[in-house]
Amino acid sequence: MSHAASPRIRFTPDDAPWLAVGLYGALALVIGLPLAMIVLWSFSDGWFPPALIPTDFTLDHWRQIVEDRGLAEAAIRSVGIAFTVTLLSGIIALPTAWAMARFPFRMKRAVELFILAPLIVPGLVVAVGVGQLFLMLKLAYTVPGVILVQLIGTLPLMIRLLSASLGTIPEDLLLAARSLGASPLRSMLAVVLPLSVPTLVAGGLITFVESFQEFDMSFIVGAPLVETLPIRLFFYLDGSGIRFTSAAVVSLILLAPVLVIFVIAGRIMRDDVMASGMGKL
């Protein structure tokens, strides 16, 4: 028993300040610093080494993008698509994950691999592959088409997350619900669904973000008729060279809804529920 021989050192209240300094320091280093750089770039009008901050500031980059009338429209469309994709991912993934987690069936491994395959295949390949099919089905250049192609990308993660968490729901709970008079469907709704909420929230957040920022597949299937926010914004990054200033503005705009979503979720959900859901990642 190596645990008994070398007990873990426990934190005491005296350690709290150091712990806080360490954690916040790490947070500042990996998130705060890059973010600060991006913000500075978005306002900079000339920033050359060895200067630590830009030598001149301007609002031009922001003005140029924000004055774009198509932008608000694209943003609203993107939010709508992301919501739909998230909702559909949850609805499709829950029963699928249930079957994967609970029932032995023929060719289970093959089905599992099939479900996870889109994680391995680049989105570009998928989109080009389904492009022809979508043209035939008249789904190309439509919002439903974009939603469908995004689902290919988001479902594997959702199914994987949910089947991991559904697998941990003890069989006895379901049997108890059944013996207390609940039909199979009622036991799903009254027991399995509430117990899956943390995972659904965690998976939903990630799906939303993934959908909101997705470019390759949406571009191939949707552009130019269906413009999502990333498609619209990526036009500002033209091929003539990397323009840090425009790129910075684009990143910040794409980042904003993500931050908002996480903050809202953090407010709604209790910390432990959040953590238990995220822990499944």
Partner 1 sequence: MPHLQVTGLTKRFADTVALHPTDLDVEQGEFITLLGPSGCGKSTFLRMLMGITTPSGGEIRIAGTRIDRLPPEKRNIAMVFQSYALFPHMSVLGNLAFGLKMKKVPKAEQTRRIAHAVRICNLDAYVDRMPRQLSGGQQQRVALARAIVMEPDLLLFDEPLSNLDAKLRESLREDLLGLHRRVGGTSLYVTHDQDEAMAMSDRIVVMNEGRVVESGTPFELYRAPRSRFTARFLGRTSLIEAIASGNEARLPWGGTAPIDRSASGPVSLSIRPEDLRIEADTQGAAAISGHQFLGAAILYSVKAGEHQLIASATGHASPLPVGSRVSLHAAAPLHVLDAIEGEAA
Judged by CB under 8 A, the residue of 19, 30, 175, 260 near partner 1 is 175
Considering only CA atoms, which of 165, 134, 189, 182 is closest in space to residue 281? Answer: 165
Judged by CB under 8 A, the residue of 13, 49, 104, 194 near partner 1 is 194
Q: Which is nearer to partner 1, 177 or 206 (CB)?
A: 177
Contact mark string toward partner 1, 209..238, x via CB under 8 A:
------------------------------
Q: How many residues bind partner 1 (CB under 8 A)?
A: 17
Judged by CB under 8 A, the residue of 79, 128, 188, 195 near partner 1 is 195
Q: How far is the CB of 263 from partner 1 (least distance, A)?
A: 25
Judged by CB under 8 A, the residue of 125, 173, 189, 264 near partner 1 is 173
**104 in contact with partner 1 (CB under 8 A):** no
Judged by CB under 8 A, the residue of 63, 108, 138, 186 near partner 1 is 186
Q: How far is the CB of 176 from partner 1 (least distance, A)?
A: 4
- As a whole number of angstroms, the distance between CA 50 and CA 26 comes to 25
Q: Which is nearer to partner 1, 111 or 195 (CB)?
A: 195
Q: How far is the CB of 276 from partner 1 (least distance, A)?
A: 11
Q: How far is the CB of 172 from partner 1 (least distance, A)?
A: 4
Judged by CB under 8 A, the residue of 181, 224, 239, 241 near partner 1 is 181
Binding site residues, partner 1, CB under 8 A: 170, 172-173, 175-183, 186, 190-191, 194-195
